[in-house]
Amino acid sequence: MIDNEIKAACKMINTSKDTLILTGAGISTESGIPDFRSPNTGLWEKIDPMEALSTSVLLNNPRKFYEEGFKLLTDMKDVKPNKGHIALAEMEEMGFIKGIITQNIDNLHQKAGSKIIYEVHGDTRSGRCTSCNNQVELNNLVEQVKREVIPPKCNRCGGILRPNVVMFGDQLPKDFNIAWDLVQNCELLIVVGSSLSVAPVSYLPQMASRLIIINLGSTPFDRQADIVIKERAGDALDKIVNELKKGT
């Protein structure tokens, strides 16, 4: 059953001249980073990320932000990519995909060797000053928090530093506008490990001519998709890449 879907997906990938990938937190659960919405293990069961990672908490209760939300971000630092990330890097190298649009902020696509990555929810490599927009390395924030300087301060103007991740209440970076245009013109979008419930990223699948979804849970786009593969992302992508290597 699953194997027929994998074969059908490979056929679609082989015939498409313009394929994009859209990843979410589900591709990184196999690396040990919890997603938001998986039953029992999702972060939502333990804390409310909408609160812990929001600009209003950062500005009104920075200690809470830096002790709860910020820790979620720094916990991702030493995590390694899994076979799903590696399969996607191989697919790019072999010329099957034109790039990855990711909602993730864990740097795992970069670590796996992918080159063209649109980070629509920001990254955990850098930060900025909320007053003068001075750009700094995330390590600057980490070091200050370690020394109990909470909130960490900008060395240029003394303003509050924040990570460059998109938090609840923030605008999306320009990578999102690029992703929007690319999806509008692509032939095939493959969604991997996303519940597709976070707007405005959740508007992207309906713009794609063809859609494949690889996700353990259901999504609002399963009916619209050409192929739905309900399997672990690492296993499914590994099989796909091996089939593509065989030329099938």
CA dihedral defined by 89, 74, 154, 167, rounded to 10 degrees?
A: 70
Minimum distance from residue 13 beta carbon to ligand NAD (Å): 18
Is 121 an active-site residue?
Answer: yes
Please tell me the distance from the alpha carbon of residue 124 to that of residue 68, in angstroms, as a whole number: 15
Contact residue for ligand NAD among 138, 162, 194, 241 (CB under 6 A) = 194
Task: Choose, from 37, 85, 109, 121, the residue flagged as catalytic.
Answer: 121
Considering the rule CB under 6 A, would residue 232 count as an interface residue with ligand NAD? yes
Q: Taking phi first (over 0 means left), then psi (-120 to 50 degrees means alpha), and beta for anything else, what does residue 196 get?
A: left
Considering the rule CB under 6 A, would residue 233 count as an interface residue with ligand NAD? yes
Which of the ranges 151-159, 175-183, 188-196, 240-248 carries the binding residues for ligand NAD, by CB under 6 A? 188-196
Which CB sits closer to ligand NAD, 43 or 136? 43
Contact residue for ligand NAD among 104, 114, 144, 164 (CB under 6 A) = 104
Contact residue for ligand NAD among 42, 81, 127, 151 (CB under 6 A) = 42
Which of the ranges 9-17, 101-109, 127-135, 171-179 carries the binding residues for ligand NAD, by CB under 6 A? 101-109
Please say whether the beta carbons of 165 and 73 come within 8 A. yes
Considering the rule CB under 6 A, would residue 172 count as an interface residue with ligand NAD? no
Considering the rule CB under 6 A, would residue 29 count as an interface residue with ligand NAD? yes
Please say whether the beta carbons of 213 and 228 come within 8 A. yes
Considering the rule CB under 6 A, would residue 197 count as an interface residue with ligand NAD? yes
Nearest to 69 by CA among 81, 60, 78: 60
Count interface residues toward ligand NAD (CB under 6 A): 27
Active site residues: 121
Binding residues vs ligand NAD (CB under 6 A): 24-26, 28-30, 33, 35-38, 42, 103-106, 121, 193-195, 197-198, 215-217, 232-233
